Amino acid sequence: MDNAEITADDLIALVRAYNPKTNEGLLRKAYAYGAEMHKGQFRHSGEAYFTHPVAVAAILTEQRLDDATLITALLHDTVEDTDASYKDVKELFSQEVAELVDGVTKLTNLQLNSTATKQAENFRKLFMAMSKDLRVILVKLADRLHNMRTIKAMRPDKQAQKARETMDIYAPLAGRMGMQWMREELEDLAFRVLNPEGRASIIRRFITLQRESGDVIQRITGDMRVELDKAGIEAEVYGRAKKPYSIWRKMQEKELSFSRLSDIYGFRVLTNSEADCYTTLGIIHGRWRAVPGRFKDYISQPKSNGYRSLHTTVSGRDGKRVEVQIRTQQMHDVAETGVAAHWSYRDGKRSKNPFAVDPVKWISQLSEQFNSEENHEDFLEAVKLEMYADQVFCFTPKGDVVKLPRGATPIDFAYAIHTRIGNACVGAKIDGMRVPLWTRVKNGQSIEIIRAQGQTPQATWLDIATTGKAKSAIRRSLREEDRGRFVKLGTELARSAFSQVGKRATEKVLRTAAKSMRFDGVDDLLARLGSSEITAREVVQSVYADLAPKQGAEIDAKRAVIGLEAGQDINRAPCCTPLPGERIVGITFKGEGVTMHSIDCEKLVEYEDQPDRWIDLRWHEGNHPAVYGTVLDMTLSNGAGALGRICTLIGEASANISDLEFIERKPDFYRLLIYLDLRDAAHLHSLMLTLEAESDVAAISRYRKNDA
């Protein structure tokens, strides 16, 4: 049905199909009020604006949602874009509807695609809004779905922005809520904008495949029905080709060409009972060969959003693989609508689906995981990890089940049980065998954590852990351990910085700086300064804005070092490549000038018995140009776009890449040397911190020939 044709009668007919007892009068009133408020407003396509809220309400009827949610959909833009107020909506409809409309309005105002810090802060607000009433996000998801369906009317730059936001946030959120159909459609609509050539190539190959092999879906569904009829099992069988983006993602993840990608068809069998599900599984495995390692039982171990189903992958004589999902009709209802199934109506009554999850419990469980994160960036990382996670189920030695995201390690398992167990972990056994802590756990494994008194988390664990909970606990422990050292270093940095502008870093001055920069106190400020999370310049500027050292004229690289005699040439030693800001020393060479080394360079040992060749040098303080070559040794996950993201981050940090050298290539990672031009040691430290925080980066260090 075209959006422009959805009248109040049409909408009510859609609702009455699943809820004959709907409050028809209230729906008509909301329709008329919304139409009146949006009168004279138009969309980018030229259509009357009110066609959009009506279309959003129609999408929500597909999930058989209650009257309050549908009225919210009809009015969701009135408070934001018209003269309607919260008070008006409350008086005309109800407190419940007014709060829902207000919640959707607040979500609309969140700029989820902004900078990382702002994005993380807004993500936290999004979860707070969801925790009050999950129907707010159901309306927002339907709103985004309709906007993506009609995105062609927008400017190209706006299309790309909305598509990226959809791919990063709304699609995985829909998947996390169990609304798989919506996740797939949102992903595919975003894929159409972000990579139209890639999507078109998938569709072209699909058409070619169908021409060559005929209608595979009809043939396999027919075969399955024959086998089920023979066994006397009543069931519905459906088949479908997977969405272009789903196929594209598999090709990227597995590094396969389309011709080698096998499981591009999915089949679903809906039975009358749970017992029939397992019988059907046996029938399918008896007729077709099961692919090892591809069976999942989400009936005995449901997902947290209520999802239940048996998953298996089988292959026929021609070697073609197909995925099969087996579930009951009630399980299917929850699989289609996820957490939204809690509000679903059937024949005028809230459907009592035994598998529907209580949204209050679901969101509180989710929020509990995320609210333990102390800062916004950790929170964002935890949210994204959780939303993209495909779960595995492991067992404690006592037989208790622990759910973890795919790719999790024994460290994640230990922290999932208790932070105390994670902190004391020294090793692990999987199914009785001792394994390294970086081992990836698999479905059904039994894991035992080996602990030791006095053990504390290691910094390398951050590269091994995958769950937000584990990473957060490890960071917290490392911060506490290093806090004393960082406070001491921060005190010295602050003293030096304030003395440069003729001021003293007194307790009161530091307290004022901490308050101005919104830290918890002086120690918090000094710890962050010592750990290079903030700069001394920022601290001085927070109190004495006019006195803080300004970014003045750049220092000429030829005159960057103090301590040389007139006419002496200087070279940076290639073994340690010292940077401005580092302690340096010079070694004289007849006819070649002076070579400068970092004070900790191992090469200096060769000149210990020649003190007459040593010159005391130091860098000019000030703003150096980004011309000092440095090399980073990086291990990077071999994922789609990983290197591109790293190069973008380096560019954003005002560093220049002069060369890339690949040292080692593996299926899941590669190691490379990145040759950079930087300003000084602080620039290097800041860049390394930024790159280390990137999830694709497994390891990073400064490369020196001394270390080679």
The enclosing domain of 411 has a CATH number of 3.10.20.30
Q: Which of 702, 687, 701, 695 is nearest to 656 (CA)?
A: 687
- The pLDDT of 103-131, averaged and rounded, is 61
Per the residue annotation, which of 62, 80, 538, 602 is the catalytic one? 80
Would residue 342 count as lying in a domain?
A: yes
Per-residue model confidence as pLDDT tens digits over 371-386: 555 555 555 555 555 5
- The pLDDT of 488-514, averaged and rounded, is 85
Give the C-alpha separation, 126 to 128, whole Å.
5
Would residue 430 count as lying in a domain?
A: yes
Q: Do residues 639 and 667 share a domain?
A: yes
Is 80 annotated as catalytic? yes
Would residue 372 count as lying in a domain?
A: no
Q: Do residues 163 and 247 share a domain?
A: no
Per-residue model confidence as pLDDT tens digits over 205-239: 777 777 766 677 888 888 899 999 998 999 999 88
**CATH number for the domain that contains residue 288:** 3.30.460.10
Res 166 pLDDT > 70: yes
What is the residue range of 265's domain? 210-350
Q: Do residues 587 and 688 share a domain?
A: no
Per-residue model confidence as pLDDT tens digits over 573-606: 988 899 998 889 999 888 778 999 998 888 888 8
Q: Do residues 487 and 441 share a domain?
A: no
Q: Do residues 22 and 98 share a domain?
A: yes
Res 435 pLDDT > 80: yes
What share of the chain has pLDDT > 70, as a percent? 84
Would residue 199 count as lying in a domain?
A: no
Give the C-alpha separation, 214 to 167, whole Å.
33
Alpha carbon 465 to its chain centroid, in Å, reads 15
Q: For the range 507-510, what are the long-range contacts, defined as Cβ-Cβ under 8 Å and sequence gap of 24 or more?
A: 509/543
Res 282 pLDDT > 90: yes
Q: Do residues 120 and 261 share a domain?
A: no
H/E segment holding residue 328: strand 321-328
Res 618 pLDDT > 80: yes
Task: Please indicate, yes or no, whether the overall pTM of this predicted structure exceeds 0.75.
Answer: no
Would residue 552 count as lying in a domain?
A: no
pLDDT in the model for residue 578: 93
Would residue 28 count as lying in a domain?
A: yes
Q: Do residues 34 and 178 share a domain?
A: yes
pLDDT in the model for residue 254: 56
Number of domains composing the chain = 6
Would residue 382 count as lying in a domain?
A: no
**CATH number for the domain that contains residue 114:** 1.10.3210.10
Q: Which of 212, 134, 123 is nearest to 169 (CA)?
A: 123
Per the residue annotation, which of 24, 47, 62, 81 is the catalytic one? 81
Is 197 annotated as catalytic? no
Q: Do residues 63 and 122 share a domain?
A: yes
- The pLDDT of 92-97, averaged and rounded, is 86
Last residue of a domain, one of 619, 646, 673: 619
Q: Do residues 39 and 172 share a domain?
A: yes
Res 3 pLDDT > 50: no
Give the C-alpha separation, 546 to 368, whole Å.
44
Last residue of a domain, one of 194, 225, 253: 194
Per-residue model confidence as pLDDT tens digits over 28-62: 998 998 888 888 888 877 788 888 899 999 988 88
Q: Do residues 17 and 135 share a domain?
A: yes
Q: Do residues 451 and 331 share a domain?
A: no
Q: Which residue has the higher pLDDT, 133 or 429?
A: 429
Q: Do residues 172 and 222 share a domain?
A: no
